[in-house]
Structure 1
Amino acid sequence: MTNRIPACQLYLISPPDVGSDFAARLNRALGAGPVAAFQFRVKDIEQHEAAKLAAPLQEICAAHDVAFIVNDDAGLAQRLGADGVHLGQSDGSPKDVRDTIGADMQIGVTCHNSRHLAMEAGEQGADYVAFGAFFPSTTKQSDHTADVSLIEFWSDLFEIPSVAIGGITPDNCQPLIEAGADFLAVSGAVWNGDEVAVIKAFGNALAKFKRVRKPG
């Protein structure tokens, strides 16, 4: 007997500039189709200013029942009462961050193209692991290229959810969904165009595939 597992979901990441009309764009995007999580990712901004930028976006996410994740900064995540924090390899271990933020907040970890880093993150209490980049990205340069086989390996052996990231579009996401990715992390594909149209296109792509765990 096979066991059904949750369908692959969309994990939306902010562009570098979240000022101006971005709150309105985010509201339109989240209203266009199902999004599981939104990551607030800004760089080189003092925490107080970052909190001011984040607050209206967090309210929009709450209104749409979308998890609000803070990139890199566990202190900011705590300050905001965010749903989670996403850690890079230089942002501290999940175990140490967990000791600081407590048990309720989700912790995700960037693991590039490394099985070892992902297993290590899992052992230290990560709630999800992120692999990539799978395709060239205009949003963030990466020195690491991941293969779809890494998603297959992970989904076959581990319960911890995986996030695929890097240049993902509605047109190229099919292999990642079929390989077992639990989330598709997307940014430029959405914000560099019509966010409503692109979110709907992702929704259509995700809806095509039924996810069934192999017996074993």
Structure 2
Amino acid sequence: MTEYACQLYLISPLDVGGDFPAQLELALSAGTVAAFQFRVKGVDQHEAAALAEPLQAICAAHDVAFIVNDSVALAKRLKADGVHLGQGDGDVREARELLGPDAQIGVTCHNSRHLAMEAAEAGADYVAFGAFYPTETKNVDHVAELDTLQKWSMITEVPCVAIGGVTPDNAKPLIDAGADFLAVSSSIWNHPEGPAEAVKAFNALLA
């Protein structure tokens, strides 16, 4: 995730079994995607690793960064491209020590440039702000403002991710405000015409 033109950052649904690998293949074959975040809850590391294996291979085939949500230990086990940390998921410096200098480490910063600056100073490769719009993917405790993106992009070159209810219909203000990546989940996997059409719609907007 080194390019600074705004790009897609896909986040998995919680259920990545069944035909989900085929859905991911469709999505990644349809257009440009920078990264895919593996986000599962309530399974042990062994089961998570088994679920991740085919998805990681698909990402590698499409040159898409494979990022593990929350768990530095799982990211290390999988030799993932990186890890995304929530505010309670661990320290950036410790993650760097465990995962090495090339790992992509991202941090959830809600609507706080202060948290984002702390993350950047600790060595985070990107920060994530949100939620910008209502979302059913997770409970929203923090609402983010466009002003946060604008000011962040003016003061630093550390990339920022906009997350939370992002769709092709509401994403343009986020892009205009300076988001480097759009993190999207339900608008991809629940798209009425399928994930490929959703990726195409986002790519048309980003182009």
- In which range does the TM-score fall when normalised by the shorter chain? over 0.9
> In the alignment, which residue of structure 2 is the partner of 1:198?
198
Contact 2:130 2:142 in 1 (8 A): yes
| 1:102 paired residue among 86, 100, 103 | 100
Alignment of 1:172-211 (within 5 A): 172-193=170-191, 194-207=194-207
- Structure 1 residue 188: deviation in Å? 0.5
* Separation in structure 2 between the aligned mates of residue 205 and residue 96 of structure 1, nearest angstrom: 37
117, 120, 125: which one pairs with 2:118? 120
The yes-or-no answer on 1:55 pairing with 2:41 is: no
- CA-based RMSD of the aligned residues comes to 0.8
* Counterpart AA for 1:70: V
Pick aligned residue for 1:84 from 68, 82, 85: 82
For residues 100-131 of structure 1, the C-alpha deviation after alignment (integer angstroms, 9 at most, x for no partner) is 22212110000001111000001111000000
Distance in 2 (CA, whole Å) between partners of 1:112 and 1:68 is 22
Provide the identity percentage: 66
How many angstroms does 1:140 deviate by?
1.1
> Amino acid of the residue matched to residue 9 of structure 2?
Y
Deviation per CA, 1:37-77, whole angstroms, max 9, x where unpaired? 00000001100000000000000000001000000001110
2:39 matched residue in structure 1: 41
Mapped partners of 2:64, 2:105: distance in 1: 16
C-alpha distance in 1 between matches for 2:114 and 2:91:
14
Unaligned runs of 5+ in 2: none
Q: What is the match of residue 212 of structure 1?
A: none
Bigger radius of gyration among the two: 1
- For residue 8 of structure 2, the aligned residue among 7, 10, 28 is 10
Residue 161 (structure 2) aligned to one of 160, 163, 185: 163
CA contact (8 A) 2:146 2:177 kept: yes
Q: Say which SS state the counterpart of residue 68 (structure 1) adopts.
A: strand
Q: Distance in 1 between matches of 2:74 and 2:121?
A: 25
- Structure 2 counterpart of 1:22, from 17, 20, 23: 20
- TM-score under structure 2 normalisation? 0.96
Task: State the alpha-carbon separation in 2 of the partners of residues 65 and 97 from structure 1.
Answer: 23
TM-superposed CA distance for 1:92, in Å, is: 1.1
Structure 1: stretches of 5+ with no match in the other structure: 208-216
What's the CA shift string for 1:146-197, capped at 9, x where partnerless?
0011000000110100000000000000001011100000000011121111
Aligned length: 203
Please name the residue that 1:211 is paired with.
none
> Following TM superposition, by how much is the alpha carbon of 1:6 offset from its aligned partner in structure 2, in angstroms?
3.0
Deviations 1:70-89 (A, max 9, x none): 00001110111100000000
| Structure 2 counterpart of 1:78, one-letter code | K
Supply the distance in 1 between the matched residues of 2:107 and 2:159 (Cα, whole angstroms).
11
Runs of 4+ in structure 1 deviating by more than 2 angstroms, as ranges, are none
Aligned mate of 1:70, from 63, 68, 71: 68
- Deviates most, 100-109 or 184-193: 100-109
Q: Give the partner amino acid of 1:117.
A: L
